[in-house]
């Protein structure tokens, strides 16, 4: 069994990790850290886990027996934690913040998008899990980048649920503000743009045109619904073939031949894609659950790869459907 520790287990991504790992056939949750909930039962926060887990949140030293440590803290806190805490010698690390996603000198983390870096992840000791918007947009565009078909600006519009902002109470996550409401934020300058460009240029091996990204806060809790378009001089049939071949060996990215809707992927580790062609422009719809394929599910997918397990172990999940 893979002995698991979670740092920051009281938040949304920590909670989703717990829900996935309690039923994972090769994982054993041994350590759940929280600064805010020290000493309280895990089920006092994640109430749906009653009967599944009897651990309490702790601030104690990480046990030497831990095989993998998931970092589920706010952005900027993972670097601080790793610089101030000694980790078990054998522990691999999967970070769910944006602290280590960008390739730079001295960064030992592999970027954890399996559809791009599967072989590197298998050999990694430290993996940086991608962001939810970044995952949605990259999976929409990677086949184009791989075939060097991105020659003009890309236009992206993506709407995310309130859980994308984390569990901390904000004015824009309160029910009275969020319900029946929409708003744009960080237009053209969202923090995920850097990792999106990094991955697409890795795949294309060339510098790409601009990416015009408009993020939107949605009036729902989970999911990312993304549309992206750019001019491409290929037929729809040829593009469908390219996408199908690119994702053929990746179990969680699925090309649909019919229109898709967000509930089809909620509570799953899947990303669904749908292609349309209009007057020389390719329109890609890309959807996923921001807390699963966009965060904790992808982190478990990376754990599976890092420990030599089948990539989909513990991740064949049922969509909400309704």
Q: Is 72 a catalytic residue?
A: no
CATH code, domain carrying 73: 3.40.50.720
Give yes or no: residues 113 and 200 share one domain.
no
Q: What is the CA radius of gyration of the chain?
A: 19
Whether 166 shows a pLDDT value over 80: the answer reads no
Same domain? 64 vs 140: no
Q: What CA–CA distance (Å, rounded) separates 255 from 15?
A: 29
Assess whether 118 and 145 both reside in one domain.
Answer: no
- Asked if the structure places residue 111 within a domain, the reply is yes
| 311, part of any domain | no
pLDDT average, residue stretch 306-320 = 96
- In this structure, the answer to whether residues 109 and 58 fall within a common structural domain is yes
Predicted confidence at residue 38, as pLDDT, reads 92
Q: What is the mean pLDDT of the chain?
A: 95
Q: Beta-carbon neighbour count of residue 35 at 10 Å?
A: 12
Tokens, residue 215: 């993020």
* Assigned token pair, 129: 């899990």
CATH of the domain at 180: 3.30.360.10
| Res 306: pLDDT | 98
Q: Are residues 106 and 28 in the same domain?
A: yes
* pLDDT band at residue 207 under the 50/70/90 scheme: very high
Give me the pLDDT at residue 241, please. 98
Q: Which residues contact 61 (CB under 8 A, 6 or more apart)?
A: none
Q: Are residues 120 and 140 in the same domain?
A: no
Classify residue 11: in a domain, yes or no.
yes
State how many domains the chain has. 2
Over residues 18-69, the pLDDT tens digits come to 999 999 999 999 999 998 899 999 999 999 999 999 999 998 899 999 999 9
- Please report the pLDDT score of residue 164 as a whole number: 82
Render pLDDT for 231-275 as a digit per residue (tens, 0 to 9). Answer: 999 999 999 999 999 999 999 999 999 999 999 999 999 999 999
Phi, psi of 199 (to 5 degrees): -70, -45
Task: Given the residues 72, 132, 226, 271, select the one marked as catalytic.
Answer: 132
Domain that holds residue 119: 2-129+293-306
Examine residue 157 and state whether it is found in any structural domain, yes or no. yes
Determine the distance from the C-alpha atom of residue 292 to the mean position of all C-alpha atoms in its chain, rounded to a whole number.
7
Instruction: Read off the tokens for 265.
Output: 């992927």
Cβ burial of 298 (10 Å; 0-12, 13-18, 19+) is buried
Residues 125, 152: one domain?
no
Positive or negative torsion for Cα 133, 207, 210, 277: negative
Pick the closest to residue 127 from 142, 117, 141 (CA basis): 117
CB 271 within 8 A of CB 252: yes
Scanning 236-283, the segments in alpha helix (DSSP H) are 236-246
φ/ψ (deg, to 5) at 217? -80, 125
Question: How far is the C-alpha of 304 from the C-alpha of 214, rounded, in Å?
Answer: 33
If asked whether residues 214 and 77 sit together in one domain, one would say no
Average pLDDT of 135-163?
Answer: 97
Tokens of residue 320, six digits = 């909400």
115 domain-assigned: yes
Domain shared by 98 and 145, yes or no: no
Round to whole Å and give the CA distance between 293 and 21.
14
**In this model, does residue 167 exceed pLDDT 80?**
no
Q: Is residue 56 part of a domain?
A: yes
Residues 11 and 74 in one domain: yes
Residues 77, 82, 86, 92: is their CA dihedral positive or negative?
Answer: positive
In a domain, 282, yes or no: yes
Both tokens of 181, joined, read 């409401």
Structure token digits, residue 115? 């559809």
- Does 121 lie in the same domain as 229? no
In the chain, % of residues over pLDDT 90: 88
Q: For residue 305, give every residue at least 6 positions away whose Cβ sits within 8 Å of its Cβ, in sequence order, or none.
A: 114, 118, 121, 122, 311
- Do 9 and 119 have their domain in common? yes
Residue 9 lies in a domain: yes
pLDDT, residue 228, reads 98
Beta strands 224-231 and 281-288, pairing class = antiparallel
Structural contact between residues 232 and 280, judged by C-beta atoms closer than 8 angstroms: yes
Q: At residue 253, what are phi and psi to the nearest 5 degrees?
A: -110, 115
d(CA 148, CA 248): 19
């Amino acid at each position: 069994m893979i002995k698991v520790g979670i740092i920051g287990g009281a938040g949304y991504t920590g909670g989703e990790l717990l829900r996935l790992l309690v039923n994972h056939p090769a994982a054993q949750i041994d350590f759940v850290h929280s600064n805010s909930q020290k000493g309280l039962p895990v089920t006092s926060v994640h109430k749906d886990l009653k009967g599944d887990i009897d651990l309490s949140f702790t601030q104690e030293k990480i046990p030497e027996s831990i095989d993998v440590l998931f970092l589920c803290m706010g952005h900027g806190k993972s670097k601080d934690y790793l610089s101030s805490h000694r980790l078990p010698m054998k522990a691999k690390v999967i970070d769910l913040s944006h602290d280590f996603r960008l390739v730079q000198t001295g960064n030992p983390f592999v970027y954890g998008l399996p559809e791009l870096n599967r072989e590197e992840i298998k050999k990694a000791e430290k993996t940086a899990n991608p962001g939810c918007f970044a995952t949605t947009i990259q999976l929409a565009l990677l086949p184009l980048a791989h075939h060097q078909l991105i020659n003009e600006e890309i236009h992206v519009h993506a709407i995310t649920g309130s859980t994308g902002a984390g569990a901390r109470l904000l004015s824009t996550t309160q029910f009275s503000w969020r319900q029946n409401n929409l708003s744009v934020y960080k237009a053209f300058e969202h923090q995920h743009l850097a990792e999106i460009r990094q991955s697409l240029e890795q795949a294309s091996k060339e510098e790409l045109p601009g990416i015009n990204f408009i993020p939107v806060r949605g009036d729902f809790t989970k999911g990312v619904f993304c549309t992206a378009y750019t001019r491409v001089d290929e037929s729809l049939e040829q593009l469908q073939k390219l996408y199908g071949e690119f994702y053929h060996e990746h179990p969680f990215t699925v090309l649909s031949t019919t229109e898709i809707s967000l509930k089809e992927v909620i509570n799953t580790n899947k990303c669904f894609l749908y292609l349309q062609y209009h007057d020389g422009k390719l329109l890609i719809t890309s959807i996923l659950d921001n807390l699963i394929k966009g965060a904790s599910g992808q982190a478990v997918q990376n754990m599976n790869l890092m420990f030599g397990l089948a990539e989909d172990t513990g991740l064949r999940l049922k969509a909400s459907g309704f």
